Amino acid sequence: MIRITAAVSAAFLAAVAAAPAPRAADLPQATRDMLMELKIDEKLLAGSEKEYEVPAAWLAGAKKEGALKIIGTWDPSQHRKYMKPFQERYPGVKFDYTRAGRSDRTVKPLLAFKEGRYLGDVISGLGNAYFIYRDSKALMKLTDLPNARLLGDDLLDPAGFWIGHQASYWCVSYNKNLVKQADLPRTWDGFLDAAKWGNGRIGMGNRANLWFLQLWKAHGVDWARNFMDKLFNEVKPQQRKEGMNALVGLVIAGEFAVTIPSAMYRVSQLADKGAPVGYHCPEPVPSTVQSIVALNGNPHPNGTRVYINWMLSKEGQIAQYYALQASSVREELQIPELVAFPEAVKGKKKTFRDPETLQQTWPQVLKAWSAHWDSASGVKTVTAKLDKVIRGGRQLQFKAGKSTHTVKISQSRTAMRVAGKKAGRGDFKEGMQCTFVYPDDKGEAREVICK
């Protein structure tokens, strides 16, 4: 864990009871400097004065509470840069920021909470651990934040326990020498035109969780299954094993005309270096959202509210991009100065991957997607009795229809489970009923699951 501490003068709060928030015309110097560096006119913040106003009791309470404990994924230097406007706006609100890895961000704070201790008050980047926190009644409701009303429904937990504060887009990168932007489809159904996009013109990574999950959510099961059927059976994209960033490099090299999915930030980095690559988002735009939560009963509830409310303001969202290069969740801030490819997303319908979608819908999506991916790539799935264990489990033999198949088992690459538990090669026994996922006879199994 990397820790930094920021504490500023509290004199401002001596008469804060009814003090008005600064007007856009009286922007903090840090905000003026930020806007100047980003080449953004200060008029963008005109009319946003109300976004910085919070109840006087919150400010007074925050002063008495002491330093708010924030846990996140940002570098300390990034967070310092990000918080400069906040410090000027609310000089009596102190904070203590900790950059933490996954365990220190998700596991340890919950264990401490159950013991009546608080390692943090606010956590960004909780991921799937959100549900454990929610079920443990460890989360504070954030429905009373004034700026929460500025966000769309997809960016707010219906129960009020999480709020989305930054967005990422996962769309299509394309080679400008091979594809004209005008020829790219307006909706995802356009990529099902085999005459136009078949013959390997699409390079695709096996990461449906980054884009297709969101389309399933937006369109429903019937559309999603029809899309997969046509995509894999008629269009037949190149099914690639490389990582998503590597696929952008391959589209630049002309290995294929477009690749799905691609992260906007990565394409922007390469385009800025002069690579012939563009970015396009059919509708709806698949997006992921990073959310922030607060711990229930934490000792800094007023500081928590002031901080998260400011994060959602125009100033907070611009500061987020300025310091972290993170896209805003505010539609009106999707401008060239704050989004790498604003024309790809501005004014378009978005579909977000939120915690609920990831937990409730992803297992169904993964099962359907994997069946299509494996079938199209020649991967077999066979359920049969394990007839022979060879060389201590290095090879397994079974009947696939009328044929006898043998698969190789890698201790590191083959996923193995026996009776619902993670297993090794030595745990397989002849006579077990098993499901084998493998490319062909004498190939290396991807997965073996036995009862």
Whether residues 7 and 150 share a domain: the answer is yes
Residues 148 and 177 in one domain: no
Q: How many CB atoms lie within 10 A of CB 331?
A: 14
- Tell me how far apart the alpha carbons of residues 395 and 388 are, in angstroms, rounded to a whole number: 8
pLDDT grade, residue 19 (50/70/90)? very low
Q: Please tell me the number of Cα atoms within 13 Å of 178 on its side-chain side.
A: 19
Q: Quick count: other Cβ atoms within 10 Å of Cβ 64?
A: 12
If asked whether residues 114 and 104 sit together in one domain, one would say yes
> Residues 249-258: what's their mean pLDDT?
97
Which residues have C-beta within 8 Å of that of residue 180, sequence separation ≥ 6?
Answer: none
Residues 279 and 394 in one domain: no
Average the pLDDT over each of 8-12, 150-154, 172-176, 422-426 and give the range with the smallest value: 8-12
Which token pair is 106?
């998700």
Residue 38's pLDDT band (cuts 50, 70, 90) = very high
Q: Give the pLDDT of residue 348.
A: 94
- Comparing 18-32, 187-201, 437-451, which segment has the lowest mean pLDDT? 18-32
75 pLDDT band (50/70/90 cuts)?
A: very high
CB of 348 closer than 8 Å to CB of 284: yes
Confidence check: pLDDT of 30 > 80: yes
Together in a domain, 197 and 271: yes
Banded model confidence at residue 357, pLDDT cuts 50, 70, 90:
confident
- pLDDT at residue 18, as a whole number: 36
Tell whether 226 is covered by a domain: yes
Q: Which residue has the tokens 């090299």?
A: 253
Q: Which amino acid is at 94?
A: K
Q: Which long-range contacts (CB under 8 A, 24 or more apart) does 356-359 make?
A: 356/157, 357/213, 357/214, 357/217, 358/128, 358/209, 358/213, 359/128, 359/131
As a whole number, the mean pLDDT across the chain is 91
The enclosing domain of 442 has a CATH number of 2.40.50
Residues 151 and 202 in one domain: no
Q: Domain span at residue 100? A: 2-165+289-344
Are 137 and 223 in the same domain? Answer: no
**CA–CA separation, 143 and 141 (whole Å):** 6
Backbone angles phi, psi at 39, to 5 degrees: 60, 45
- The answer as to whether 369 is a domain residue is no
Q: Is residue 87 part of a domain?
A: yes
The whole-number average pLDDT for the span 47-55 is: 94
In a domain? residue 373: no
> Which residue is listed with tokens 């989360």?
139
Residue type for position 297: G
Indicate the number of domains in the chain: 3
- Kindly state whether residues 248 and 205 are assigned to the same domain: yes
Point out the least confidently predicted range of 2-16, 30-44, 173-187, 344-358. Answer: 2-16
Q: Read off the tokens for 16.
A: 């804060």
d(CA 271, CA 282): 20
Please tell me the distance from the alpha carbon of residue 394 to that of residue 390, in angstroms, as a whole number. 6
Q: Which of 13-27, 176-190, 409-423, 428-442 has the lowest mean pLDDT?
A: 13-27
In this structure, what are the phi and psi dihedrals at residue 380, rounded to the nearest 5 degrees?
-100, 150
Does residue 138 belong to any structural domain of this protein?
A: yes
Mean pLDDT of 387-392: 96
Considering the domain boundaries, does residue 191 fall inside one? yes
Helices 301-311 & 56-65, crossing angle to 10 degrees?
120
pLDDT-derived band of residue 13, with 50, 70 and 90 as boundaries?
A: very low
Is residue 365 one of the residues assigned to a domain? no
Mean pLDDT of 349-377: 90
Q: Which residues contact 422 (CB under 8 A, 6 or more apart)?
A: 416
In this prediction, residue 203 carries a pLDDT of: 97
pLDDT band at residue 412 using 50, 70 and 90 as cut-offs:
confident
pLDDT at 425 over 90: yes
Do 127 and 23 belong to one domain? yes
**pLDDT value of residue 411:** 87
User: Could you tell me the two tokens for 410?
Assistant: 């890698």
**pLDDT tens string 130-186:** 999 999 999 999 999 999 999 988 899 989 999 999 999 999 999 999 999 999 999
The domain that contains 238 carries what CATH number?
A: 3.40.190.10
Give the β-pairing of 202-205 and 277-280: unpaired
Write out pLDDT tens, residues 302-324. 999 999 999 999 999 999 999 98
Q: At what angle do helices 314-324 and 29-38 cross, to 10 degrees?
A: 60
**109 and 173 belong to one structural domain:** no
Do 155 and 177 belong together in one domain? no
User: Is the domain of 34 the same as that of 141?
Assistant: yes
Which pLDDT value is given to residue 438?
A: 92
The per-residue pLDDT for 378 is: 82
In a domain, 352, yes or no: no
**How much of the chain, in percent, has pLDDT values that exceed 70?**
94
Regarding pTM above 0.85, the answer is no
CA dist list (Å): 301 to 104, 108, 147, 297? 21, 20, 16, 7
Q: Which is nearest to 371 in space by CA: 229, 276, 242, 247?
A: 229
d(CA 247, CA 253): 10
Is residue 24 very low, low, confident or very high in pLDDT (cuts 50, 70, 90)?
A: very low
